[in-house]
Every structure is written in structure tokens, then in C-alpha cells.
Amino acid sequence: MARRRISRVQGEAALASWRAGEADRASAIRAVRYLLEELGERAPGNAVEVRVPPAGVVQVIDGPRHTRGTPPNVVETSMETWLRLATGETAWADAVAAGEVSASGLRADLSDLLPLVR
């Protein structure tokens, strides 16, 4: 399991700033990374790669380990969409249906893991 790089205090402060509509780019990136780290702690593994460019990426969910090339299970979304998904402002199914999330592979469904915070 990867260790946390962003403390809970820093992460919660960045989230509060984003929720208030006051987050600058650095705060938004910190909030995204904090929530990616949270996902990594709750669903450790290497079967699914979650990409939120340009902020970060995390491998999660127990299963077959991926070692080279494009992983078979990939989730990719924007920073704004990731923040809305992880905080419960947007439902997984709604974001996928709206084309805000690219999810490929049999394990690339995060609906049971989201939201991470309320």
C-alpha cells in the first residue's frame, strides 16, 4: 500500500476550499490527490488504474496485477468530475452516462467505492 503524501488536515483543507469555490489550481490538485490516496487506502490493489490528469493516478482493487502497457482496467476523468464523484455530488452512473468518465475493463466500475467523503 502506498503511503499518504497529503495529510488529512491538508486534504480536508483543500476539499473545503474546493467546496467553497475558492480553490486555486494547487489546492484543486491537492484535493484530487488526497481523494486518490483515500481510494487507494480503501481499495488496495493493482487491478484498476484510476487516472485524473494532470493531478494523479492510483492503482486500486485487488485482482490480477498489471505490469506493462495499457492496463486492462482503466478509469479516467477530469479533476472536476473526480472531485464531484468522490464527494457524492455526482453519481457514478450519471457521470459515465454523460461521458464524463471513461471506464474500460470488467473491473473498471467504482460505483461501490464512491463517494469517499460526504
pLDDT in tens, 77-105: 999 999 999 999 999 999 999 999 999 99
How far is the C-alpha of 104 from the C-alpha of 118, rounded, in Å?
Answer: 26
Query: What does each C-alpha distance from 25 to 18, 33, 37, 78, 104 come to in angstroms?
Result: 10, 12, 18, 13, 28
Residue 4 confidence (pLDDT): 83
Q: Beta 74-77 vs 44-52: how paired, if at all?
A: parallel
Give the DSSP H/E element, type plus range, for residue 57.
strand 56-60
Query: What does each C-alpha distance from 55 to 15, 16, 38, 83, 105 come to in angstroms?
Result: 14, 18, 14, 11, 22
- pLDDT tens, position by position, for the chain (118 residues)? 557 899 999 999 999 999 999 999 999 999 999 999 999 999 999 899 999 999 999 999 998 776 666 778 999 999 999 999 999 999 999 999 999 999 999 899 999 999 999 8
Type of residue found at 90: T
Q: Which residues partner with 63 through β-bridges? A: none
Task: Provide the whole-model pTM.
Answer: 0.93
**Among 55, 50, 7, 9, which residue's Cα sits nearest to residue 32?**
55
